[in-house]
């Protein structure tokens, strides 16, 4: 019985490392592609609605025209790597049933997030924005919209779209613009 528990702990540790590595890769990619010329915005401009007083809009200048395509490509690559690793776990008959079920649940969660992101991106684009990319995890939603600026009603509109798809509170939603 000890041997099975040790395998489960090892498996959970490996899965955590894969997810952390994917997040780190995405975060490093985002940091290297996002220019340092961010503009500070006053609290008045960042409020999205009366019930939300956290900073939600980050203005940045993007020099690359293909930022959105690159971010979607990198997001897809990171997810593909995670799913590949999870599939190896599922197909490993030496692991416990619980470990393989956990990997299946993680793949299902990734698939749900992919679907939510696609819906959010489509709905935001339907509001007149030329491009948008969404990143959803178990605790947060980050959406980057192609726009010169967003006023409070537009931020609230985008937050409503995100909240309706994810069920997240406004404090769990961050909206950035990139032009």
The structural domains of the chain, ordered by start, are 2-178 (1.10.287.4300)
pLDDT digits (tens, 9 = 90+) for 120-157: 999 999 999 999 999 999 899 999 999 988 899 999 99
3-state SS string for the chain? CHHHHHHHHHHHHHHHHHHHHHHHHHHHHHHHHCCCCEECCCHHHHCCECCECCCCEEEECCCCCCHHHHHHHHHHHHHHHHHHHHHHHHHCCCCCHHHHHHHHHHHHHHHHHHHHHHHHHHHHHHCCCCCEEEEECCCCEEEEEECCCCCHHHHHHHHHHHHHHHCCCHHHEEEEEEC
pLDDT digits (tens, 9 = 90+) for 36-80: 333 333 333 333 333 344 444 444 444 445 888 888 899 999 999
């Amino acid at each position: 019985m000890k041997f099975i528990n040790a395998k489960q702990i090892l498996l959970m540790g490996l899965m955590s490392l894969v997810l952390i590595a994917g997040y780190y890769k995405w975060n490093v990619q985002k940091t290297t592609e996002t220019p340092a010329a961010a503009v500070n915005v006053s609290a008045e401009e960042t409020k999205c609605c009366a019930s939300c007083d956290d900073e939600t809009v980050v203005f940045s200048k993007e020099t690359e025209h293909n930022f959105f395509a690159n971010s979607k490509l990198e997001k897809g690559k990171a997810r593909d790597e995670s799913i590949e690793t999870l599939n190896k776990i599922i197909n490993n008959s030496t692991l416990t049933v619980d470990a393989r079920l956990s990997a299946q649940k993680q793949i299902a969660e990734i698939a749900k997030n992919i679907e939510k992101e696609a819906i959010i991106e489509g709905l935001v684009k339907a509001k007149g924005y030329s491009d948008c990319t969404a990143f959803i995890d178990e605790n947060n939603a980050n959406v980057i919209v192609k726009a010169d600026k967003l006023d409070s009603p537009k931020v609230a509109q985008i937050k409503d779209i995100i909240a309706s798809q994810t069920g997240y509170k406004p404090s769990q939603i961050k909206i950035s613009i990139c032009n």
